[in-house]
Structure 1
């Protein structure tokens, strides 16, 4: 379904939201007190809630969380308008101008045959526009480490520093190479590192190389790890609930008994479920 940009309903909805924001800012004690800084951590929380909804493929929740994020954008621009800095129109116009500049293959004479070419053009144009001295300048320092690794690799790829797309074997060889280097720092008898700092560095290299391999095979490592986190949590909660019902404590069981419950948990909670109930039919 294509969105008709000339449909007046879109303008009406935005105007309604702007009107509500003005009223809240003028009449609500909580909204009156908010600043750019006070909203920051709330915006981060809303972003993670949207991420959860996307991983659960819950379209109703996605709609809600997108609305919450949009509210934050409107709230920020209301505050900056009060400071005579910029308003929502300036933000939208700036975004539109950037999108046109960054897509010369759509709005100009440049060519991009695939998504990889588009990303490379984007990064090169970004460097030129911002005058950055490094392709990595646009990676936020506060990003979580896993996300930061993904973005660093994507930025490097954007300027041509990457493995050849058809050389997946070398990418996987690098993973094995880093694993072997880590093993060399582990005492074969005690199974503990010879040197904690060096082992930590090598373990970081393993993770970085795995992120790299995941990128080449089309897996988002952040999403993959979070799905595993959720899967483990479901199984563990099932075990806790089951043991509670039988009057047993987890710490009193043997490893063999725990493994047996774990296998039961996998069968109980890993059965694929029908998610169509959470999906909406496109209008």
Structure 2
């Protein structure tokens, strides 16, 4: 890990490309690498390399930042894990994984106390997973199912209804099961949402597939933004 930090320090100092990067310019690469980890898990091969690529993005962002470093990033997640596992680091007793999950959600709710219900929901995520997260937040807060009618009609309502039907069948947008994701993609195609990748000739040589991943997410975001206006 120390070697990685040292390499990033040198790249950030001596490499023109690495030196010019910002948090915003690196986002497409982080998105692409996360999907490649998912692909490696599903294929059963290449996971070590793909996790290394994700770790590179963490190290890169930590080096770009002015107000924190990778040690601060680690401190934050260590603190969160300790707080949310009182059955390991405290005196809480649990008998099952379900109890662990219930405690985790209760602790999260306490940490969010006083905040807006949807505070922290990343609005830039793909449309289906965004709708799923909004619905989960609303349900966790005790919102009645009929409240979905407030979404209105049109594309926005179709997205909410689609996610609800998928959840009823055991599917979770953004989940790890390839079959569930394929089913959601097929349903999305039925709504007429077409995803086309940028041609290879239009990508910078150093960008690899990142421009394609960024465009796919961007199109999903556009669909969601359009839905909100309807």
| 1:111 matched residue in structure 2 | 93
1:92 matched to 2:74: yes
TM, length-normalised to structure 2:
0.64
Q: What CA distance in whole angstroms lies between the structure 2 residues aligned with 1:101 and 1:147?
A: 27
| 1:69 matched residue in structure 2 | 54
Shift of 1:112: 3.4
Q: What CA distance in whole angstroms lies between the structure 2 residues aligned with 1:112 and 1:139?
A: 29
1:59 matched to 2:45: yes
- CA 1:226/1:130 → structure 2, altered by over 3 Å: closer, same or farther? closer
- CA 1:221/1:201 → structure 2, altered by over 3 Å: closer, same or farther? closer
**Looking at both structures, which has the greater relative contact order when contacts are Cα pairs under 8 Å and sequence separation is at least 6?**
2
Q: What CA distance in whole angstroms lies between the structure 2 residues aligned with 1:229 and 1:161?
A: 25
SS in 2 for 1:140: coil
| 2:8 matched residue in structure 1 | 21
2:84·2:103 contact (CA, 8 Å) conserved in 1? yes
| 2:169 matched residue in structure 1 | 214
Q: Give unpaired runs (5+ residues) of structure 1.
A: 1-13, 164-173, 175-196, 232-283
TM, length-normalised to structure 1:
0.54
Q: What CA distance in whole angstroms lies between the structure 2 residues aligned with 1:158 and 1:121?
A: 13
Aligned residues: 180
- CA 1:160/1:119 → structure 2, altered by over 3 Å: closer, same or farther? farther
Q: What CA distance in whole angstroms lies between the structure 1 residues aligned with 2:168 and 2:184?
A: 20
Structure possessing the higher radius of gyration over alpha carbons = 1
Q: How does 1:27-38 map to 2 (within 5 A)?
A: 27-38=14-25
Cα RMSD for the two superposed structures: 3.2
SS in 2 for 1:141: coil
1:104·1:110 contact (CA, 8 Å) conserved in 2? yes
1:77·1:87 contact (CA, 8 Å) conserved in 2? yes
- CA 1:119/1:137 → structure 2, altered by over 3 Å: closer, same or farther? farther
Shift of 1:153: 4.2
| 1:101 matched residue in structure 2 | 83
